[in-house]
Structure 1
Amino acid sequence: MPVVMPDKLTEICKSILVRLGLSEEDAFIIADSTVKADLRGVHSHGIMRFPSYIPRIESGVVNLHPEIETIAEGHSYAWIDGDNGPGQVVAVRAAEIAIKKARKNGVCAVLTRNTNYLGMLAYYTMKIAEENMIGIMFVNAPPFVAPYGCREAKLGTNPISVAAPTGRDFPFVLDMGITSGVVGKIRLAALKGERIPENWAIDKYGRPTTDPEEALEGALVPIGEAKGYALGLAVEILSAVITGGSIVPDMPHPIFDLSQPPNLGNTIMAIDIETFVGVDEFLDRMNSLINHIKGCKKAEGVSEVLIPGELEYRLEQKQLKEGITVHEETWKQIGLLAEKYRVGLEMV
């Protein structure tokens, strides 16, 4: 499989998007967030997704030049309408608002409606963490998950992300949905002809399956059974019910449904550390907490206990130097798009 340097991959994707009519700035945000997902090993939201963005743009279902409107705001909140703009672009704008208001007022929650698929949540919460703040984000998703006790999909994977500085090379980064597996990884397994773990999904009859094709016809199962299901409902409330975005019964697929805008909603929050214990004390306390965790008695066969975000950071640093391995079929699709929009794959 081809190995591509991340800056080259970003430039290729950005150039295709510019040819499609996006501004240089907005095209970079989408390309950068896509490649960042692969750098951190979140391939389900990485370059394999990029070809699916193009039909949405070509069909006009995404507004490439949104007029992002503030519906309501106060010292510590804002409610914005994304004007059906690219999800990545609107989410970056929401994060910027959250950072600015939190710096003045300690905390800020920005609620967003009328936006599109935005990829890896950590891309946005990490931007907040870089400002010595804690970033929190909630997003709902189309119905792929069977609630506890059901055998059909009625709830989304509904991810949540939390990022915070640690004073070390890597930030703390939680970025997870309410399932052990995600649809993107199941699609990737189907593409590669691989099996999936036993605890990921059920088939259309409600039986556990390791066949990704059967899983795509059935449903994912929540982690922790009833607890994962309850967490998913909480995220639905925080990301869609309160924002005016599509709730799961009314949500078209934000990637594959070209018939209408998805009206996705999400909530992003920033907590300014300096307002409370102060950055220096916070980092000291974080370091003490991390040392406490890493100093534990390790289970048999375990050489190191990692902090959430640490493994992804190491992989990112490795791939920044060595390049990203791109699946052959995905690279073929990128090549066809590059040819169609007159972008050279050897342009960098």
Structure 2
Amino acid sequence: MTGQDTLETGESVRYISASDLRGFVAALFEEAGLPKEDARTVADNLVCANLRGNDTHGVFRAPTYLERVRNGLYAATPRINVEETAFAARSVDGDNGMGAVVGTRAMQEAISVAGQCGTSLVSIRNSNHYGMAAYYVLQALEHDMVAIAFTNSSPAFPPWGGRKPFFGTSPLAVAVPAGKEQPYVLDMAMSVLARGNVYVAAQAGTSIPPGLALDKDGRPTTDPKALIDGGTMLPFGGVKGAALSMLMDIFGGVLSGAAFAGRVGNPHMDFDRPQNVGHLFMCFRPDLFMPMEVFKSRMDDLVATVKRQPRAEGIDEILIPGEREDRSRRRREKEGIPLSTDVCEKLDAEAAKAGLAQLNTTPAPFAGK
């Protein structure tokens, strides 16, 4: 497949509507053995990431997920168990289900409990890579709730002062509703560079920025393949990022009963065992402290005031966390989602295996057609 447009990596791209891509990916997972509703959840999780411009957590991940399902490393039909451990607390055993399925079930529980109790705490074990972390806290926004999502992940960079991968990039996600203004939506990995970007760069044959990684001998590198081949990423903010990554391992792994201390499986490399990723979700209602309309008004005041602040040289607009991603979503819903040639070919190969039709793409954005 070829296209006229290019991504930042210089790859040619094709465009596809979000609804078509969602249906295509859902069909792949349903053919792999997932129940229809779960297949749709996984597809929605991946396509939501593409819409928000987080392509490293989008349908690029589908072939790896499918391979793990076929090899029995992700349970296609998990028996997810939810245990009430206190009035507003739940413990979830994901039974090695796909991360998007387990995470969505756990967030539904967190929202339900917070609706009744005002707040909730849900710990999850025996889960897997669950895609874009913002996907879960965005669900709470639909119910006017504040949500925080912690997770651990497979080794990506060392503890401060080390040279061997140990802690994960472990993204932290937070969502806070607003009124007329943009809600606050944070989705932040513990590394300067999201690990998915490394795999994308390696596939595209491009380099990564300097100062973000070491090779297997502890030397600085810009070669993503050198990083993948025994190297290590570096945390953002030096010792501060390393400290936060340890906190993510405590909340996601130690507290939940999931794997921790460098024992979480890598979805791309460890095809001999489950990942056993752990998460922790927190939700609460802002109207515990003041009427909801007052809280939203105060949030609107904060957001508007932030955006009015004097701008640094060369800056046209001050954006709040989540605003850039929401603009990407709005644009891609109209123009279609751009997919690289490589991703298209891999998805078409998966369709061929499943006996399904190939992607229905176009070489240019939909706008102006």
Whether TM exceeds 0.5 here: the answer is yes
Q: Give the letter for the 1:69 counterpart.
A: N
Does 2:328 align with 1:337?
no
Segments of 4+ in structure 1 off by > 4 A?
none
Identity fraction in percent: 35
Q: What SS class does the counterpart of residue 355 from structure 2 fall into?
A: coil
* Match in the other structure for 1:304: 317
Match for residue 250 of structure 1?
263
Matched, 1:184 2:193: no
Aligned AA (2:162): C
1:23 is the counterpart of 2:35: yes
Aligned to 1:198: 210
Whichever residue aligns with residue 62 of structure 2, its letter is F
Within 5 Å, which residues of 2 pair with 1:1-348? 1-168=13-180, 170-217=182-229, 218-345=231-358
Report the alpha carbon displacement of residue 293 of structure 1 after superposing the two structures with TM.
0.9
The normalised TM-score by structure 1 is: 0.96
Asked whether the 8 Å contact 2:181–2:303 carries over to 1, the reply is: no
TM-score normalized by the length of structure 2: 0.91
For 1:173, give the aligned amino acid.
V
Question: Would you say the 8 A contact 2:129–2:153 is kept in 1?
Answer: no
Distance in 2 (CA, whole Å) between partners of 1:255 and 1:210 is 20
1:4 is displaced (CA, Å) by 1.0
Partners of 1:142 and 1:248 within 8 A in 2? no
CA distance in 2, matches of 1:51, 1:250: 23
Contact 1:155 1:232 in 2 (8 A): yes
Q: CA RMSD in A?
A: 1.5
Runs of at least 5 residues in structure 2 that lack an aligned partner in the other structure: 1-12, 362-369
Q: Which runs of 5+ in 1 are unaligned?
A: none
The structural deviation recorded for 1:169 is 6.1
What CA distance in whole angstroms lies between the structure 2 residues aligned with 1:77 and 1:253? Answer: 29
Mapped to 2, the partners of 1:90 and 1:228 lie a distance apart of 27
Letter of the structure 2 residue corresponding to residue 254 of structure 1: P
Alignment deviations for residues 112-146 of structure 1 (CA, whole Å, 9 cap, x no partner): 11111110110000001111001100011111112
Read off the aligned partner of 2:349 and give its amino acid letter.
L
Q: What count of residue pairs does the alignment treat as equivalent? A: 348
Q: 1:88 deviation in Å? A: 0.6
**AA at the equivalent of 1:24:** K
Amino acid at match of 1:285: R
